[in-house]
Amino acid sequence: MDQTFDIGVIGLGQMGLAMAQTLVRAGQSVLGYDVAAERRALFVPHTNQIQDLANTCQTLLLSLPHSGIVEQVMDTIFPYCRPGMLIIDTSTADPDSTRKLAQAAHAKGVFYVDAPVSGGAAGAAAGTLFIMAGGDDDALHRAKPVLDILGRETVLCGGPGCGNVVKILNNALCAAHLALAGEALAAGEKAGLNREALAAALAKGSGRSAVFEVNLPKWVLSGSFDSGFTMGLMRKDVRLFDEFATANSISPILLQTASTLWRESKAILGDSEDFNCMVPFAGERS
Ligand code: NAD
Domains and CATH numbers, the chain: 5-159 (3.40.50.720), 165-285 (1.10.1040.10)
Is any ligand 1 atom within 6 A of the Cβ of residue 14?
Answer: yes
Q: How many CA atoms lie within 13 A of 226 on its CB side?
A: 3
Give me the chain's average pLDDT, please: 97
Centre a 10 Å sphere on the Cβ of residue 234 and count the other Cβ atoms it contains.
Answer: 23
Distance 13 CA to ligand 1 centre (A): 5
DSSP letters, 226-266, are --S-BHHHHHHHHHHHHHHHHHTT---HHHHHHHHHHHHGG
Is any ligand 1 atom within 6 A of the Cβ of residue 92?
Answer: yes
Which residues 6+ apart lie within 8 Å of 141 measured at CB?
Answer: none
pLDDT digits (tens, 9 = 90+) for 209-254: 999 999 999 999 999 999 999 999 999 999 999 999 999 999 999 9
**Residue closest by Cα to atom 8 of ligand 1:** 13
CA nearest 262: which of 166, 169, 165, 174? 174
Amino acid identity, position 93: A
Q: What CA–CA distance (Å, rounded) separates 19 from 61?
A: 9
Which residues 6+ apart lie within 8 Å of 105 measured at CB?
Answer: 81, 87, 111, 112
Known catalytic residue at 167: yes
Give the pLDDT confidence score for residue 1 in this predicted structure. Answer: 81
Residue 10 has pLDDT above 90, yes or no: yes
Q: What CA–CA distance (Å, rounded) separates 220 from 178?
A: 10
Catalytic pick among 167, 190, 218, 236 = 167
What is the reported pTM? 0.96
| The ligand 1 atom nearest the CA atom of 73 | 18
pLDDT digits (tens, 9 = 90+) for 175-205: 999 999 999 999 999 999 999 999 999 999 9
Give the pLDDT confidence score for residue 3 in this predicted structure. Answer: 92
DSSP 277: G
What whole-number percentage of the chain has pLDDT above 90?
99
What whole-number percentage of the chain has pLDDT above 70?
100
